[in-house]
Structure 1
Amino acid sequence: MSTGQFYGGIEGGGTKFICMVASDPGSTIDEVRFVTTTPQETLEQVCAFFTPYIKAQRIKSIGLGSFGPVDTDPSSPTFGYITTTPKPNWAFTNILGILQGELKVPIAIDMDVAASALGEYRWGASRGIDPSLYLTVGTGIGGSYILNGKPLRGLVSLEMGHVYIPHNRQRDPFPGSCPYHGDCFEGLANGPAIHKRFNQFPESLADQDPFWEIEAGYIAYALVNYIFTFPPKKIVVGGGVMHRLFLFDLVRHKVSSLLNNYLNHPTLTGPLDEYIVPPGLGYRSGVLGGIALAMELEKQP
């Protein structure tokens, strides 16, 4: 085992948690993943993983990218809480406070998708490209911009999966599955919405199923809205649904059609193969983003 300085990274997803001890993608000394169950059981597993490394003074800080919504405002009384999540048992869980209380090391927290965006910006498909956008289409849908080398922050955390997009109810009568907004982007296009339509998971739906054209259209509508609002120089799209790699060509074609050469830039008027891309870090974008958050934390005075 190396004797250098390492950091802790956590991708806290709604389906699974991934924990890592590393200093960069090529210097990983330990990694574990487990199913997200109750807060108590899940966070106990997180603490059990990191405690030996903290006691051995191998890591001094941890970065956490959590499913959300997450309160990332340090001045807020609920800073570090998972707030109005629809995930059972997790609403208003003080995830940051619980982990800091048990592990007793500094922990940086952000949305899981913001951590993924940072990981890809530091080491992956959008490395050094600013501004860039990371979108995940999986159990949930979320997005994060990197601006000036950091995840973009607003009044609250970005919730790019909850934008409204055109919904042709004759073509797709599904009412939507979001408990807050019904047929928002996430309510129409995330993994659980696909499962509710067909009673099968996205990975088992046939490549030739006509629904994939509808799904690609939903993703394209959202991306075009993001491009018109704040044009990124690169878009990285990850998440379990996007493991169906044929979706990328469908999405690129539909984005080009919707833009219709209105934005006169060669990046957008030509082929989009190098503009809308899969993650360079694969499934590790989020947990390596946690490592990057921890590294940034150590730079603070």
Structure 2
Amino acid sequence: MTEAADRIVAGVELGGTKSIVLIGRGREILVSERFPTTDPATTLGVLAAKLAEWRDAYAPEALGIGSFGPIALDAHGADYGRMLATPKPGWAGADVRGALAEGFGERIAIHTDVTGAALAEGFWGAAKGLGDHVYVTVGTGVGMGIVSGGHPVSGRMHPEAGHVRVRRMPGDGFTGVCPFHGDCLEGLVSGPAIAARAGRPAQELDAHDPAWTFVADALAESFVGLFLTLACGRIVVGGGVGMGQQHLLPMVQQRVVAKLAGYLPFVDAAQVANRIVHAQLGDQAGPLGTLALAQTVLPAR
């Protein structure tokens, strides 16, 4: 998938606490506004109204929606574009796609905000030029967006690889904090998990705190699984924990090489620093992700 740098599209980033609506050309954001995410009727209504207001002025050709999840993404399913069971009050069953569709016909791409960020990093950031990569955000939770052959991966819904269980380090008795799975990846390496393990937030921990060894090992187990399953060219790491702890990525890289034990020729000691990298787009990854999503459904000229 390549960037359509000269075509105008619209985007909506629907977040858990705030939402952004924007118009862009390529990676240039022409205009944007943000609103608090409250109840579905209010939030989707104000976003739809803003899109309608801008439609005459900018004539966007397509719409990209990057949403918090979980959300149904099977285009043939009756619940396509609707929110699935979510802890956010009132949002289960909300018709996100339908509420924002007016004026765009079938030129709408909807996915998770994490997958949108993955596409944006592929178009303009740390995975530029690659057709196969994974974006992993490690913060309050763990989310993953997978791009294969230049296209975002989804099935009945979006990937939830942050909830896959990983092999534990010997002697690690931490039970994890995921309310569904306990010691899945998110339950071991997210911000709340680190705080529960160490007794204080991640940002207060010294780089040599033993908690980081467990975090790095769990992430390395997950990344080894991604490389073996997807043969992806790069894993891009973002999020408050992923980006906020500069010592963490080298620890993960070293463990990935050791765990693979020479099995994958493209992930060895000489190449691992180019295979596992920090994200580049920062807090623009979400909004730019909606523009990248919209570009995937642009009609041919």
TM range (shorter): 0.7 to 0.9
Provide the residue aligned with 1:229 in structure 2.
229
Q: Does 1:143 align with 2:144?
A: yes
Contact 1:86 1:179 (8 Å CA) reproduced? no
User: Shift in Å at residue 225 of structure 1?
Assistant: 0.9
User: Following TM superposition, by how much is the alpha carbon of 1:15 offset from its aligned partner in structure 2, in angstroms?
Assistant: 4.7
Asked if structure 2 preserves the Cα contact closer than 8 Å seen for 1:14 and 1:139, the reply is no
Q: Match for residue 126 of structure 1?
A: 127
Report what 2:81 is aligned to.
80
The alpha-carbon distance between structure 1 residues 208 and 46, as it changes in their structure 2 partners (threshold 3 A), is farther
From the superposition, tell whether residues 205 and 88 of structure 1 become closer, same or farther in structure 2 (CA, over 3 Å): farther
Could you tell me whether the CA contact under 8 Å between 1:113 and 1:143 is conserved in 2? yes
Aligned to 2:3: none
The RMSD of aligned alpha carbons is 2.6
Partner of 1:159: 160
Runs of 4+ in structure 1 deviating by more than 6 angstroms, as ranges, are none
Q: 1:257 to 1:165 in 2, by over 3 A?
A: same
Classify 1:191/1:34 alpha carbon distance in 2 versus 1 (closer, same or farther; 3 Å).
Answer: farther
The 5 Å alignment of 1:2-151 reads 5-25=7-27, 27-33=28-34, 35-47=36-48, 49-100=50-101, 103-106=102-105, 107-151=108-152
SS of the aligned residue for 1:59 comes to coil
Structure 1 length-normalised TM = 0.85
CA distance in 2, matches of 1:234, 1:157: 19
> What SS class does the counterpart of residue 261 from structure 1 fall into?
coil
The gaps in structure 2 that reach 5 residues or longer are 1-5
Question: C-alpha separation between the residues in 2 aligned to 1:10 and 1:294?
Answer: 10
Q: Give the drift of 1:70.
A: 1.5
> Percent identical across equivalent pairs?
35
Q: Distance in 1 between matches of 2:56 and 2:79?
A: 29
Q: 1:42 to 1:267 in 2, by over 3 A?
A: same
Tell me if the contact between 2:254 and 2:269 (Cα under 8 Å) persists in the aligned partners: no
Per-residue deviation, 1:46: 3.0
Residues in 1 aligned to 2:47 and 2:220: alpha-carbon distance in whole angstroms: 36
Structure 2 CA distance for aligned equivalents of residues 39 and 205 of structure 1: 38
How far, CA to CA, are the matches of 2:199 and 2:54 in structure 1?
43
Query: Residues 72 and 82 of structure 2 are in contact (CA less than 8 Å); yes or no, is this contact kept in structure 1?
Result: yes
Any gaps of 5 or more consecutive residues in structure 1? Answer: none
Is 1:283–2:283 an aligned residue pair?
Answer: yes
Distance 1:133 1:60, change over 3 A: same
- Aligned positions, number: 293
Indicate if the aligned counterparts of 1:113 and 1:286 stay in contact, CA closer than 8 A.
yes
Give distance in 1, aligned partners of 2:140 and 2:39.
17
**Counterpart of 2:298 in 1: which secondary structure?**
helix
Residues 88 and 222 of structure 1: is their aligned pair in 2 closer, same or farther, counting only changes over 3 Å? farther
For residues 234 and 169 of structure 1, do their structure 2 counterparts lie closer, same or farther at Cα, with a shift above 3 Å needed? closer
> SS of the counterpart of 2:183?
coil
2:7–2:26 Cα contact (<8 Å) kept: no
Task: State the one-letter code of the partner of 1:274.
Answer: N
TM-score, length of structure 2 as denominator length: 0.85
Checking the alignment, whether the CA contact within 8 Å between 2:237 and 2:243 is kept in structure 1 is no
Q: Which residue of 2 aligns with 1:190?
A: 190
Report matched runs for 1:261-276 at 5 Å: 261-263=262-264, 265-276=265-276
Q: Secondary structure at the match of 1:20?
A: strand
SS at match of 2:273: coil
Work out whether residues 5 and 58 of structure 1, in 8 Å CA contact, stay in contact via their aligned partners in 2.
Answer: no
Q: Do the aligned partners of 1:139 and 1:191 also contact (CA within 8 Å) in 2?
A: yes
Per the alignment, residue 216 of structure 1 pairs with 216
> Following the alignment from structure 1 to structure 2, what is the Cα–Cα distance between the partners of residues 89 and 300?
38
The reply on whether 1:255 has 2:278 as its aligned counterpart is no
Q: 2:87 and 2:132 mapped to 1: Cα distance?
A: 30
